[in-house]
């Protein structure tokens, strides 16, 4: 029974020692993980909202393609129709709009007016088309005094058209500027109700190709295209070859020099990095093919857009798709990427503390014996003071008491050598006391005590 009681006491003591050792360690580890979780970005949302101008740059078609691609990775892309690029950028700058990304035309809004908006890259060239009636002209300045459609309010087409007209000082009377949508403007041009129409649309747009074939309607070839490109860095110069629209009908009937802004994908600067990479992969799939003005693999690209390039886009154009996304599904790559951050507390905190636990536990177990060494040292110091026989006997009793108390200390078998070491040290001091007793005559001891 006594053995069972001692065993039970040993277990309780060891359990308490273990928890007293592990408790602070677990608390520190939990704190380290809590701090790490604070800095980990949350999982990407399952829904994205994209603002899409309805009459610019073929953006509606692009939005449908993006929806299909993102759906393969479980991301729903909601399309928010807008009046134009200006409206789309305004929605991105409004915290409560719910819009995450947008298709916009370069040069629409100055970056300083769109704080918090970053570029994910340019997607394609979308030329500025100027269709007109009458005798051949070679520059925008020759449109002075005519009735011109410049696009809808807040559209990228209107923004660029007004920039071109103002630069040539033909935006005031007698020039008449008309606000019309694309289809209405094309119809009125055909009927002779307009003298010219500004349109921003891809070169492979059916509406552009049909309008180019209408008798009596001409396409403006920008004779000073190089000057416009130098003056406005978001524009580029392109040549539309003769007959490229219709070889049989020879449309257009001569090479046409065009200037073109770019279609761009912009986003809030708070967009989740995983979604930014996913959008860039979709952009490569949709816009990486050759077109009338684009070469294979030319887009998406980090061209001048008027907005700062996001850090994710910069890494994408420099290094390509992140390593994990090359070999893992989107959800798995994102999960592993987030878990990498957890290695910081594991390496910096968990590993050293786990290695320290056995040492801490050993120190706690040994500490029960170490405090008895203070009593042993006290007896040794008194022994150096030449005590009398009675004092020596008291010292022996104190050693016996210390030995009995230490023998009652619960001690795991793996650490029991500490008990035997202490008992050996007690024996060393005990032998010194016994030797002193045998050397000191009893009557001298009494006389020393009396004189003392």
Reduced DSSP (H G I as helix, E B as strand, rest coil) percent helix, strand, coil of the chain, to 5: 55, 15, 30
pLDDT value for 350:
67
**pLDDT value of residue 192:** 94
| Whether residue 353 is found in the same domain as residue 308 | no
In this prediction, residues 138-157 reach a mean pLDDT of 93
Packing angle of the helix pair 311-319, 273-287 (nearest 10 deg): 50
Residues 90 and 139 in one domain: no
Question: Which of 24-38, 47-61, 219-233 bottoms out in mean pLDDT, i.e. has the lowest?
Answer: 24-38
Residues 111 and 154 reside in one and the same domain:
no
Is 237 a member of any domain? yes
Q: Which of 222, 241, 260 is the last residue of a domain?
A: 260
pLDDT of residue 292: 87
Of all residues in the chain, the percent with pLDDT exceeding 70 is: 77
Confidence band, pLDDT 50/70/90 cuts, at residue 452: very low
Is residue 36 assigned to a domain? no
Quote the number of domains for the chain: 3
> What average pLDDT does range 43-52 have in this prediction?
91
Q: Is residue 34 part of a domain?
A: no
Given a cut of 70, whether residue 28 has pLDDT beyond it is no
Shared domain for 308 and 390, answered yes or no, is no
Q: What is the model's pLDDT at position 278? A: 92
**35 within some domain:** no
What confidence category does residue 447 fall into, taking pLDDT thresholds of 50, 70 and 90? very low
Look at residue 322 in the predicted model and tell me its pLDDT: 74
- Give the domain extent around 12: 2-29+344-451
Q: Is residue 223 part of a domain?
A: yes
Which of 340, 372, 399 corresponds to the end of one domain?
Answer: 340
User: Do 23 and 7 belong to one domain?
Assistant: yes
Summarize pLDDT for 66-119 with one digit per residue, the tens: 999 999 989 999 999 998 888 999 999 998 999 999 999 988 876 567 788 999
Three-class SS of residue 77?
Answer: strand
Locate 141 and state its tokens. 């300045």
Query: Distance between CA atoms of 251 and 140, rounded to whole angstroms?
Result: 22
Q: What is 112-141 written as a DSSP string?
A: GGSTTEEEEEEEEE-PEEEEEESS---SGG
Q: Is residue 281 very low, low, confident or very high in pLDDT (cuts 50, 70, 90)?
A: very high
**Predicted confidence band of residue 306 (pLDDT cuts 50, 70, 90):** confident
pLDDT of residue 443: 43
Distance CA 171, CA 206 (A): 29
| Closest to 259 in 3D by CA, of 228, 298, 287 | 228
Q: What radius of gyration, in Å, describes the C-alpha atoms of the chain? A: 43
- Scored b (16 or more CB within 10 A) or e, 406-423 reads beeebbeeeeeebbeebe
370 and 435 in one domain?
Answer: yes
Q: What pLDDT digit, counting tens, does each position of 193-214 carry? A: 999 999 999 998 999 999 999 9
**CA distance readout (Å), 52 to 59, 74, 267, 425:** 6, 21, 12, 87
pLDDT for res 158: 92
The chain-wide mean pLDDT, for the chain, equals: 83
Examine residue 38 and state whether it is found in any structural domain, yes or no.
no
Q: Which of 98, 250, 254, 232 is nearest to 163 (CA)?
A: 232
- pLDDT digits over 328-345, tens only? 776 666 656 666 666 666
Let me know whether 154 and 237 are in one domain. Answer: yes
Contacting residues for 235 by C-beta, under 8 A, at least 6 apart: 106, 107, 228, 229, 259, 260, 261
Is the domain of 198 the same as that of 323?
no
Encode pLDDT of 164-177 as tens digits: 999 999 999 999 99
Q: Which two tokens stand for residue 95?
A: 């915290």
* Position 413 confidence tier, pLDDT thresholds 50, 70, 90: low
pTM of the shown model: 0.67
User: 156-160, 418-422, 433-437: which has the minimum mean pLDDT?
Assistant: 418-422
The reply to whether 139 and 248 lie within a common domain is yes
User: Do the domain assignments include residue 37?
Assistant: no
Q: Give the domain CATH number at 254.
A: 3.40.190.10
Crossing angle between the packed helical segments 389-407 and 351-383, to the nearest 10 degrees:
160
């Amino acid at each position: 029974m006594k053995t069972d009681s001692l065993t039970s006491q040993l277990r309780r003591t060891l359990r308490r020692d273990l928890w007293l050792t592990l408790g602070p360690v677990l608390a520190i580890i939990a704190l380290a993980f809590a701090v790490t979780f604070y800095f980990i970005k949350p999982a990407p949302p399952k829904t994205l909202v994209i603002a899409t101008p309805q009459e610019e740059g073929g953006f509606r078609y692009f939005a449908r393609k993006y929806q299909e691609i993102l759906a393969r990775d479980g991301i729903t892309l909601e399309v928010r129709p807008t009046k134009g690029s200006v409206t789309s950028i305004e929605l991105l700058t409004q915290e409560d709009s719910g819009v995450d990304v947008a298709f916009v035309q370069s040069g629409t809004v100055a970056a300083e007016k769109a704080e918090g908006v970053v570029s994910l890259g340019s997607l394609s060239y979308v030329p500025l088309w100027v269709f007109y009636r009458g005798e051949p002209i070679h520059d925008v300045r020759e449109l002075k005094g005519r009735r011109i459609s410049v696009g809808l309010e807040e559209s990228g087409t209107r923004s660029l058209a007004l920039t071109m007209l103002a630069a040539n000082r033909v935006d005031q009377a007698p020039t008449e500027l008309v606000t019309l949508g694309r289809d209405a403007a094309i119809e009125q041009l055909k009927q002779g109700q307009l003298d010219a129409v500004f349109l921003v649309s891809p070169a492979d747009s059916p509406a552009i190709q049909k309008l180019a074939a209408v008798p009596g309607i001409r396409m403006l070839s920008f004779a000073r295209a190089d000057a416009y490109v130098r003056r406005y860095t978001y524009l580029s110069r392109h040549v539309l070859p003769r007959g490229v629209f219709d070889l049989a009908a020879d449309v257009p009937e001569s090479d046409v020099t065009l200037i073109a802004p770019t279609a761009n994908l912009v986003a809030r600067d708070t967009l989740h990095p995983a979604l930014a990479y996913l959008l860039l992969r979709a952009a490569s799939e949709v816009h990486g093919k050759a077109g009338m003005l684009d070469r294979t693999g030319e887009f998406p690209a980090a061209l001048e857009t008027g907005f700062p390039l996001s850090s994710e886009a910069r890494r994408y154009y420099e290094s390509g798709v992140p390593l994990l996304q090359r070999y893992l599904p989107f959800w798995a790559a994102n999960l592993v990427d987030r878990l990498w951050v957890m290695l910081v507390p594991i390496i910096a905190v968990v590993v050293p503390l786990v290695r320290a636990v056995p040492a801490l536990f050993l120190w706690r177990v040994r500490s029960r014996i170490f405090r008895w060494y203070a009593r042993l040292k006290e007896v040794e110091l008194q022994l150096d003071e030449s005590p009398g026989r009675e004092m020596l006997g008291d010292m022996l009793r104190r050693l016996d008491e210390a030995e009995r108390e230490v023998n009652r200390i619960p001690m795991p078998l793996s650490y029991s050598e500490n008990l035997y070491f202490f008992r050996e040290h007690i024996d060393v001091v005990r032998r010194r006391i016994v030797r002193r007793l045998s050397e000191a005559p009893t009557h001298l001891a009494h006389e020393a005590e009396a004189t003392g």
